[in-house]
Amino acid sequence: MAKKSVKDLDLKGKKVLVRADFNVPMKDGEITNDNRIEAALPTLEYIIEQGGKVIVFSHLGRIKTEEDKEENSLRPVSVRLSELLGKDVTFIPETRGEELESAIDELDEGDVLMFENTRFEDLEGKKESGNDPELGKYWASLGDVFVNDAFGTAHRAHASNVGIASNIESAVGFLVQKEIDFIGGAVDNPERPFVAILGGAKVSDKIGVIENLLKVADKVIIGGGMAYTFYKALGREIGTSLLEEDKVDLAKELMEKAGDKLILPVDTVVAPEFDNDSPSQVVEGNIPADEMGLDIGPKSVELFKKELEGAKTVVWNGPMGVFEMENFAKGTEAISKLLANLEDATTIVGGGDSATAVQQLGYEDDFSHISTGGGASLEYLEGKELPGIAAISDK
Ligand code: AMP
């Protein structure tokens, strides 16, 4: 069932609660990257234009002690948001109580208020991240309608998303809508051929994703550290490469089930040490006993290129090698470039390291969608229902 979008809500004169994702990186009380604040602007500006009274909130970091509170106040975020919106943002340094309630009562149409980090409520027994029903009900009582625009926490049931949505009319904002359209679209109803590319360190982190994508995609390409557990399952020597011994049988099973749908690298960049300056070489087949695989080789890039020809939908999650080291980043860079130049295809990058790689290389505008949520996009690709979206009112 489709979920309501912010465009389906009557916003004029309404107190609109907005769960944003302002979990920005901070250093010494300064925001070091404000992409997430900028990304929230379209939804907030739309509500302002429609005459809604915006009450926006978010979590920031983890709160385990009183000191964590000082470092993780949303106040600097409210200042930056005010600059970006070009209008005042009233900041209330509380997550509940009279000061917050009376400030909300005083809001006019188009005004914006931000309240303090929702995770401050976790100091008293995980009320926010434990989805305490009373807290969700209380926050819901502060508004007339609720808009969830935080995809990064959509895979968790918290008081600030599921708790509120369970009590009042709710909708998704433009950011979450885009994730539903692209990731949800790829998983539920992809234009074919649909090719998935999975990489990263561990098979165990991505079992659910591999299994689900083997069901829904036409091809599943596996690179990165994960590939060596599959190599092992084929009886190959993998030297000192990453191995998850307890996943070798599973890898075997997956390959038997998948047949030629599952594609592995055909060559590997190896080196004796996990070090950028370690002397590397490209090998095909077995990896020498004292070497480890740190990237896919050029023949694998060619093979993957062929498999991608004519693809109409591509989902990519996880680097092809240790891309943090320049000498082992070539495979990941090549895949970024291949996808950026793919014509007539919907190209989607799951959050996390592959999204970072695409952004670092400056290809972000050449992709159809780069997910803003690492964990959430993985669970979405696993075919799981995300509680933060499921709780939103049906259209
Ligand atoms: P993930 O979070 O599972 O997507 O994994 C990302 C991490 O996998 C990155 O930090 C990469 O450096 C690492 N990685 C990718 N390929 C390899 C490899 N061949 N050996 C060791 N680590 C790898």
- Tens of pLDDT, residues 287-304: 999 999 999 999 999 999
- Tens of pLDDT, residues 259-278: 999 999 999 999 999 999 99
Query: How far is residue 316 CA from its own chain's centroid?
Result: 12
Q: What is the pLDDT along the chain (395 residues), one digit of tens a residue?
A: 799 999 999 999 999 999 999 999 999 889 999 999 999 999 999 999 999 999 999 999 999 999 999 999 999 999 999 999 999 999 999 999 999 999 999 999 999 999 999 999 999 888 999 999 999 999 999 999 999 999 999 999 999 999 999 999 999 999 999 999 999 999 999 999 999 999 999 999 899 999 999 999 999 999 999 999 999 999 999 999 999 999 999 999 999 999 999 999 999 999 999 999 999 999 999 999 999 999 999 999 999 999 999 999 999 999 999 999 999 999 999 999 999 999 999 999 997 889 989 998 999 999 999 998 889 999 999 999 999 999 999 99
**Smallest Cα–Cα separation from 56: which of 179, 180, 173?**
173
Ligand 1 mean position to 248 CA, how many Å? 18
Active site residue 156: no
In whole angstroms, what is the distance from residue 50 CA to residue 187 CA?
A: 33
| pLDDT at res. 45 | 98
Contact status, residue 155 vs residue 376, Cβ threshold 8 Å: yes
Ligand 1 close to Cβ of residue 351 (< 6 A)? no
Give how far Cα 350 sits from Cα of 83, 183, 199, 335, Å. 30, 8, 11, 14
- pTM for this model (two decimals): 0.93
Residue nearest atom 12 of ligand 1, based on CA coordinates: 322
Out of 4, 15, 36, 53, which one is annotated catalytic? 36
Active site residue 224: no
Dmax (CA) for the chain in angstroms is 71
Active site residue 375: yes
In whole angstroms, what is the distance from residue 105 CA to residue 142 CA?
A: 9
Query: How far is residue 393 CA from its own chain's centroid?
Result: 22
Ligand 1 close to Cβ of residue 225 (< 6 A)? yes
Ligand 1 close to Cβ of residue 324 (< 6 A)? yes
Give how far Cα 120 sits from Cα of 112, 117, 126, 354, Å. 21, 6, 9, 31
Out of 163, 200, 351, 352, which one is annotated catalytic? 352
- Tens of pLDDT, residues 74-88: 999 999 999 999 999
How crowded is the C-beta side of 50, counted as CA atoms within 13 Å? 19
Measured torsion, CA atoms of residues 244, 249, 250, 253, in degrees rounded to the nearest 10: 150
Ligand 1 mean position to 154 CA, how many Å? 25
